[in-house]
Amino acid sequence: MQKPRTRWHILVFLAPAVLIYTAVMIFPLFNTLRLALYSKIDQERVYTGLQNFQTLFGDPIWSEQFWNALGNNFWFFLIHMLVQNPIGIALAALLSHPRLRFAALYRSAIFIPTILSFVIVGFAWKLILSPIWGIAPSMLDAVGLKSLFAPWLGKEEYALTTLALISVWQFVGIPMMLIYAALLTIPEEILEAGEIDGITGMSAFWKIKLPLILPSIGIISILTFVGNFNAFDLIYAAQGALAGPDFSTDILGTFMYRTFFGFQLQLGDPHMGAAIAGAMFAIILVGVCIYLFGIQTRMRRYQL
Amino acid sequence: MSSARKRPFNTLAMHGALILYTLIALFPVFVILINSFKTRKKIFREPLALPDAESFSLVGYQTVLKQGDFFLYFQNSLIVTVASLALVLLFGAMAAFALSEYRFRGNLLMGLYLALGIMIPIRIGTVAILDLMVSTGLVNTLWALILVYTAQGLPLAVFILSEFMRQVSNDLKDAARIDGLSEYTIFGRIVLPLVRPALATVAVFNMIPIWNDLWFPLILAPAEEVKTLTLGSQVFIGQFVTDWNAVLSALSMAILPVLLLYVIFSRQLIRGLTSGAVK
């Protein structure tokens, strides 16, 4: 192994990946944070320090939009945590049952929405929920619940929740697969030992399996968090850049896009866009740190 | 668990729950596909009926093929996805080989540096990425997308591949060294073929997000001749909102290639997801 001369091949092996990664990912990331400290005044880029952030948090027009987007984003995340992950875990628990027939078939079918693009998913649900087409109301009518129907995507109070549930529908496959994988690694002996002690069925799930898959649930939570806080595509595809009705479905991704590129009445401002990106970066960083240092290290791992 | 084995009722309930959820998962896709083959009148009158001789119509597909350049979009998406995957796999494997095979100063640090990108989404840097692409003249070219997706895919690829490369036997590589093979030949002829399953896993993980991405095509390559299928269908549907036949057909045409890829690669994807490669 130890050779006195420079081992050029190491450099050759590393160079392409490190160069592309640095030039297209790391450098722009820091450059974006740097650009957030500048403003365009009279066609010139001027260093203005933290003024963009002052505008973002201090100016009522901006701060109201920012807090609205952030609050919506948290609601979006909460629905994923409360609906997507429990359903994913439940499906995985059913699928991992030994001697269940057609498990592979169910698994493949339930994963299909996950592979579709947001554009397809957004429009497909928009059509299905549309009062013009009438699939949703006539289906509710068939079970006698027609009075419950409302144009969910068009109402301020329901639109965000509806979109979050659509996103849940799309991505439930991911927690399902990861938990399924974790459940398969639980050795049969442990479950049999539990059976001898009279722990079977549901209580085996709660008392033996769930504690063993907690680390996977942690990973899923942080993946959901990061994914939700830079989400954009679904809202853009279904509601447009204005995240209607009346910004009720605006999240940080759409807010940043709108600020960066501008829309009907407002010119795009890359520096304010960069400031919002900086805020998103901080939020994601805080989330990841909470996970890495607060949750992951404290979680009890069992040697299997 | 054993009680479920004995009681047929439990098995039935389990199948019931799974069938119910499978229906929920597939219903929207099914509705879009069947209605894309029907006449406008029937789409509204009987949205849940299968197309029959009377209601069958391809008028939506005709509009789509006439108005939208879907073959071009498809070709662009294919070029971007295949090229990005090839670069992610080649450069990722090379870097993973360097990190797992050689001991050198800064090895651990380099590994951590490359792993940073696993958790931090590349979208945060969009403002500066657009700047970069404008100043290098790459904006509105497929190269802009290929570079971004390569950078996005590399961190996880290096991470997964170096885990697998550590398992390749050292004796094999040392034997090759004694036979006088260069380090490049060892990488290309011995290590790469041995980690082929891991390469497939990485490819399948990256394929779907690249194919489906809307953000970067919208920002870096919105021009007509470089539109990807995802962006192309988004724009097309936006323009034809009221032409339900065209919208449903465009959606179906966007669904079918992904569905086909999924049928081909689903075993690989599910094996990858469940093999614990992403722990």
Distance between CA B113 and CA B111 in Å, rounded? 5
Of A14, A97, A111, nearest to B14 by CB-CB distance is A97
CATH hierarchy code of domain A70-249: 1.10.3720.10
Question: Is residue A304's pLDDT more than 70?
Answer: no
Of A18, A109, A233, nearest to B25 by CB-CB distance is A109
Considering only A29-38, A61-70, B62-71, B157-166, which range has the smallest mean pLDDT? B62-71
**pLDDT computed for residue A130 by the predictor:** 84
Q: Do B208 and A115 touch (CB under 8 A)?
A: yes
CA B252 to centroid of chain Cα atoms = 18
Taking residues B35-57, what's their average pLDDT? 84
- Binning chain B into helix, strand and coil, the percentages to the nearest 5 are 80, 0, 20
Question: How far is the alpha carbon of B47 from chain A, nearest alpha carbon, in Å?
Answer: 7
Which residues does B21 contact at the CB level (< 8 Å), separation at least 6? A87, A91, A106, A110
Question: Does A289 contact B at CB distance below 8 Å?
Answer: no
* ipTM entry: 0.87
Name every chain A residue with its beta carbon within 8 A of the beta carbon of B208. 114-115
**pLDDT computed for residue B154 by the predictor:** 96
Which stretches of chain A are DSSP H helices?
8-21, 27-35, 51-58, 60-79, 85-95, 103-115, 118-129, 135-142, 156-171, 173-184, 188-196, 201-204, 210-229, 233-239, 252-261, 270-289
**pLDDT tens digits along B98-145:** 999 998 888 999 999 998 888 889 999 999 999 999 999 999 999 999
Of B44, B122, B126, nearest to A133 by CB-CB distance is B44
Are the CB atoms for B82 and B204 separated by under 8 Å? no
Are the CB atoms for A243 and A107 separated by under 8 Å? no
Of B1, B87, B98, nearest to A200 by CB-CB distance is B1
Question: How far is the alpha carbon of B252 from chain A, nearest alpha carbon, in Å?
Answer: 9
Of A7, A29, A118, nearest to B214 by CB-CB distance is A118
**pLDDT tens digits along A249-284:** 999 999 999 999 887 777 888 899 999 999 999 999
**pLDDT tens digits along B218-259:** 999 999 999 999 999 888 888 887 888 888 888 888 888 888
Q: Do B14 and A94 touch (CB under 8 A)?
A: yes
Q: Do B2 and A284 touch (CB under 8 A)?
A: no
Question: How far is the alpha carbon of B53 from chain A, nearest alpha carbon, in Å?
Answer: 22
Taking residues A227-251, what's their average pLDDT? 88
Question: Does A120 contact B at CB distance below 8 Å?
Answer: yes
Name every chain B residue with its beta carbon within 8 A of the beta carbon of A189. none
Of B4, B123, B218, nearest to A230 by CB-CB distance is B123
Question: Is residue A48's pLDDT more than 50?
Answer: yes
**Phi/psi at B24 (5° precision):** -60, -40
Residue of chain A nearest B36, judged by CA positions: A124
**pLDDT computed for residue A299 by the predictor:** 72
Closest alpha carbon to B273 in A220, A46, A100, A288? A220
Question: Is residue A244's pLDDT more than 60?
Answer: yes
- Half-sphere exposure for B233 (CA within 13 Å, toward CB): 33
Residue span(s) of chain B under CATH 1.10.3720.10 come to 69-239
Question: Does A226 contact B at CB distance below 8 Å?
Answer: yes
Q: Do A111 and B154 touch (CB under 8 A)?
A: no
Q: Do A120 and B117 touch (CB under 8 A)?
A: no
Dihedral sign, Cα of residue B150, residue B156, residue B161, residue B162 = positive
Question: Is residue B1's pLDDT more than 50?
Answer: no
Residue of chain B nearest A213, judged by CA positions: B279
At the fourth CATH level, the homologous superfamily of domain B69-239 is MetI-like (1.10.3720.10)
Question: Is residue B3's pLDDT more than 70?
Answer: no
Name every chain B residue with its beta carbon within 8 A of the beta carbon of A135. 31, 47-48
**pLDDT tens digits along A150-207:** 788 888 889 999 999 999 999 999 899 889 888 888 888 888 888 888 887 788 888 8
